[in-house]
Chain A
Amino acid sequence: MSLLTEISEMLQRGKAAEVKNLVQNAIDEGTDPRVILEEGLLHGMGVIGEKFKNNEVYVPEVLIAARAMNAGSEILKPHLADAGVEASGTVILGTVKGDLHDIGKNLVRMMMEGKGLEVIDLGVDVPPEKFLEAALERNADIIACSALLTTTMTEMKNVIETVAGEGQRDRFRIMVGGAPVTESFCKSVGADLYAPDASSAADAAAALCREKRAG
């Protein structure tokens, strides 16, 4: 088995220590860090994302795979920076004000990072102004809002109104998601995109960034 295949497979099984060692070995062997990222880490996370979408793996398995990816990324990051690799898009992500749930939001972050996007994670209980402030500061492509509760999802509307109120609505695409959120809810609050699961959210975000950057 090639080192890169092994990285991908160990990542899929959530073996963080093994992934870390294998990434170091690949660097030591002189493999291009971009190749380690694409064919090792992102490949493994891509497989997990697909399996997650098809209900072959579930949240706990994705969480440990992502932990393994992070372990590998830590080692790889300085080498990628040296090679001048840039993210393919920037996403501002957070759970809306009043909502402290972060597992779903973390999954979205992991899956998006697994697509090579840069994700600025604002955490939980994020007020609307903070979404906008971060998006302006980072010149982001997307603002993504998460909510788990029927009691807090209505807060998404405030995020969109805050962005629009500052005249910035056209500058950012706004995505919404979380257990109680639906396509019709997304439309009713005037968001651009709803994704039913973390993996679809990452696919959609990557596609949006490609479109947006293509013009």
Chain B
Amino acid sequence: MTSRERFLAAAKREAPDVVPAAPYAGNFGATVAGVPISQYNTDAGRMAAAQIRSWELVGHDVVVAQSDQYYIAEGYGCVIEQPFDATPHLVAPAVPGLDDIENLKVPDPYRDGRMPVYLDAVHALRSHFGNEVAVRGPGTGPFSLASYLAGGTQQFLMDIAQAEADEDIASQEKLLRLMGIATEGLIAFLRAVLEAGSDVAQCGDSLASLDMISPAIYEKYVFPFESRVFESIAPIAHKKGAVTVLHICGDTRRILPLMAQTGADVLEIDTAVPMYEAQELTAGRTALMGNLDPTSVLLQGTPELVQRTAEECLRSTKPLNGGVILGSGCEVAPHTPVENLKALVETARTFRA
């Protein structure tokens, strides 16, 4: 099997030849290739070149055209500031608050924000790697995306809490409407990213973490919209042989059964949830990807620690039956030692049940 075939087989819960290795290494690619992050995420050619360089050094199965969270949001009119060699941050939302959401227009992925950069990078990586290596395009999850649009993240979270505490139905409806507007933008982008040749259509919904919101808020404000994304995107992805991924950071145990019902093919599991527990909680409905600790294992650890942790993870999950991809719990930190990522790949390649 090629890397791409191996990843796609495991993601579809079919048996791979060896365990696929897919650390989420976007900005790591930039730093390891010596490209400043502000150039990496604004220049498709440099993004693709950096990912190719990082693959030459590490040899993982999936390259990722990923850097930041705002390329779709900017298409709605959000304003960011771009430091020279760090990920950008939001300086102004698209509209001031919930009362203005009808002014939001769903952007065109081929024209608006920095979406074209990511689409072109995906296309370049697909052209370069053909069937050899899988290409993972990004996709800001609907809850995270909505939080940038109307007033910014903190205000968005307070609006939700206040609407719930006051049982203010009118505000709750506006919030759900805002979620719908964000969902449409994500769906448009994911169609385009699949068209560009991505093997993955993903929702990376970091804000939907239980480090931030309650399971009740997840169920009411997030789950229906993540489900809507996969309902419209999965048929397109599957027709192209691609798969869908849902990533939520942190300890998701209390919502994993729901996450498994969103229709995502793969759930990306963070370090806080042991992989075998994630398998139990999702009852084999989805494939799982994860979950080495990006800080204490990958960034600060040694190749020996990486190997030991990865082996423990794999021994507990029967990965050669399919449905398990060895990865990082969250984004791999820039300046993570290359040797540690190589140890991750090596452990996956040599693991026998």
- The residue in chain A whose Cβ has the minimal distance to the Cβ of B332 is A150
Give the segment of B57-65, B124-132, B212-220, B273-281 that binds chain A: B212-220
CB of B83 closer than 8 Å to a CB of A: yes
| Measured CA separation A98–B38 after assembly (Å) | 13
Are B296 and A182 touching (Cβ within 8 A)? Answer: yes
Give the segment of A22-30, A55-63, A80-88, A163-171 that binds chain B: A55-63
Are A180 and B333 touching (Cβ within 8 A)? Answer: yes
Are B214 and A58 touching (Cβ within 8 A)? Answer: yes
Inter-chain contacts of B295 with A (CB < 8 A): 150, 153, 180-182, 185
Inter-chain contacts of A180 with B (CB < 8 A): 294-295, 330, 333
Are B153 and A60 touching (Cβ within 8 A)? Answer: no
CB of B89 closer than 8 Å to a CB of A: yes
- Which parts of A195-215 form the interface with B (CB within 8 Å)? none
Are B157 and A63 touching (Cβ within 8 A)? Answer: yes
Inter-chain contacts of B153 with A (CB < 8 A): 103
CB of A79 closer than 8 Å to a CB of B: no
- Which parts of B1-28 form the interface with A (CB within 8 Å)? 27
Inter-chain contacts of B211 with A (CB < 8 A): 59, 179
Q: Which of B27, B213, B299 contacts A58 (CB 8 A)?
A: B213
- Contacts A64-B161, A184-B296 given; does A100 touch B89 at CB 8 Å: yes
Nearest CB of chain B from residue A107's CB, rounded to whole Å: 10
CB of B210 closer than 8 Å to a CB of A: yes
Nearest CB of chain A from residue B200's CB, rounded to whole Å: 21
Nearest CB of chain B from residue A45's CB, rounded to whole Å: 15
- Contacts A150-B333, A151-B334 given; does A106 touch B294 at CB 8 Å: no
- The residue in chain B whose Cβ has the minimal distance to the Cβ of A155 is B86
Are B161 and A60 touching (Cβ within 8 A)? Answer: yes
Inter-chain contacts of A185 with B (CB < 8 A): 295-296, 300
- Contacts A15-B165, A60-B160, A182-B296 given; does A151 touch B86 at CB 8 Å: yes
CB of A53 closer than 8 Å to a CB of B: no
| Interface majority SS (helix, strand, loop, mixed), chain A | loop
- Which parts of A150-188 form the interface with B (CB within 8 Å)? 150-154, 179-182, 184-185, 188
CB of B154 closer than 8 Å to a CB of A: yes
CB of A118 closer than 8 Å to a CB of B: no
Interface size class of A (residues with CB under 8 A): 20 to 34
CB of B331 closer than 8 Å to a CB of A: yes
CB of A39 closer than 8 Å to a CB of B: no
- Which parts of B168-210 form the interface with A (CB within 8 Å)? 210
Are B157 and A103 touching (Cβ within 8 A)? Answer: yes
| Measured CA separation A164–B175 after assembly (Å) | 48
Are A58 and B217 touching (Cβ within 8 A)? Answer: yes
| Measured CA separation A150–B26 after assembly (Å) | 12
Inter-chain contacts of A67 with B (CB < 8 A): 158
Nearest CB of chain A from residue B34's CB, rounded to whole Å: 16
Are B165 and A154 touching (Cβ within 8 A)? Answer: no
| Measured CA separation A182–B61 after assembly (Å) | 29
- Contacts A151-B86, A182-B296 given; does A60 touch B333 at CB 8 Å: no
- The residue in chain B whose Cβ has the minimal distance to the Cβ of A16 is B162
| Measured CA separation A153–B162 after assembly (Å) | 32
CB of A38 closer than 8 Å to a CB of B: no
Could you write out 25 A-B pairs with CB less than 8 Å apart? A55-B210, A58-B213, A58-B214, A61-B161, A61-B165, A61-B214, A63-B157, A63-B161, A64-B158, A103-B153, A149-B87, A150-B294, A150-B332, A150-B333, A150-B334, A151-B27, A151-B86, A151-B334, A152-B86, A154-B333, A182-B296, A185-B295, A185-B296, A185-B300, A188-B300
**Which residues of B approach A to under 8 Å, CB–CB?**
27, 81, 83, 86-87, 89-90, 153-154, 157-158, 160-162, 165, 210-214, 217, 249-250, 293-296, 299-300, 330-335
